[in-house]
Structure 1
Amino acid sequence: MTLKVKVALAVATAALVGGCASQPKNITAAYVSPVQYADYSCPQITAEMDGVSKRTVELYDHLQNKADNDSAEMAIGIVLFWPALLMLNGGDGPEAQEYAHLKGEYKALDEVAGKKSCTVTTRSPETIIKEKEEQKQKEAESKGAGYPT
């Protein structure tokens, strides 16, 4: 292998590892202590869970789009012009940190709600995201159903 090929492979590998945003489904929840919610009433817990859930889903969508775009840019860059990979501005930023924190916050709120026997009507972020993904899947299948394979 020539030196140019080795350098090109090293650059492409570095860009692959460090340049792409993580898929949000792979971002783990940060620990958030449930103690901070111990004095909340059940309606306050429910309201807080609703806000956290909505923001978590918004961030999920944003992070998913960012990860998808990075993947597409990476594929194009590898095939067409690998030096362009150096320009990728992906990676996990403050949104990913906020997403991890919100996931942890929801878990903490859910724990406190369980200890207080609160009736929570808020759907979890995971449930909302799963429903959205299933809906996208159904839409994609229905669009493809009209075409011969």
Structure 2
Amino acid sequence: MRTNHLVLAAFAACALTACAPKPHAVKAAYVPQAIYQNMSCNQIAAEAVNVSNRAHDAIGTERRHRHQDQAITAAGLVVFWPALFFTHGHNARSATELAQLKGEIEALEAVSAQKGCGIQFDRA
């Protein structure tokens, strides 16, 4: 009986660490500001809107992966443990894309501030 509890606890630990990360926990990747230095304030604003829209989509994807992983993990732990093999886990591609987009937003924000563009970046 005790062995069954240990096996279940081991599966739970493995399954929970395999969940996709929370979008706000993904750290921004370094993006050089030099990419945006030659842009006008209007171009920076347009690029910021573009990057922001792409980041919004990436956050939605990351959230969806996380919720799916949590549901599969719960079902796997309670009903059918082989379901644990179907979690997305750390989806490197979507998390990397989100980190890149966050880095682009930070670089755009820094260049905007340097040029005195007065663009407001909302972190919501």
TM-score (ref. length: structure 2) = 0.87
Q: Quick check: 1:81 aligned with 2:71?
A: no
Tell me which residue corresponds to 1:40.
39
Q: Whole-Å Cα distance in 2 between the matches of residues 82 and 26 of structure 1?
A: 28
- Per-residue CA shift, 1:27-56, capped at 9, x if unaligned? 111111112211111111111111000100
Tell me which residue corresponds to 2:11.
11
Letter in 1 for 2:115: K
* Mapping of residues 34-113 of structure 1, within 5 Å: 34-113=33-112
Gapped regions of structure 1 (runs ≥ 5): 128-149
CA RMSD of aligned residues (A): 1.8
Letter in 2 for 1:72: A
Q: Whole-Å Cα distance in 1 between the matches of residues 112 and 71 of structure 2?
A: 41
Q: Whole-Å Cα distance in 1 between the matches of residues 49 and 107 of structure 2?
A: 13
Gapped regions of structure 2 (runs ≥ 5): none
Q: Secondary structure of the equivalent of 2:38? A: coil
Displacement of 1:120: 2.1
Q: Percent identity?
A: 37
Q: Whole-Å Cα distance in 2 between the matches of residues 92 and 12 of structure 1?
A: 19
Tell me which residue corresponds to 1:147.
none
Q: Whole-Å Cα distance in 1 between the matches of residues 113 and 38 of structure 2?
A: 14
Residues 21 and 90 of structure 1 are in contact (CA less than 8 Å); yes or no, is this contact kept in structure 2? Answer: yes
TM-score (ref. length: structure 1) = 0.73
Tell me which residue corresponds to 1:144.
none
Displacement of 1:82: 2.0
Displacement of 1:12: 3.2
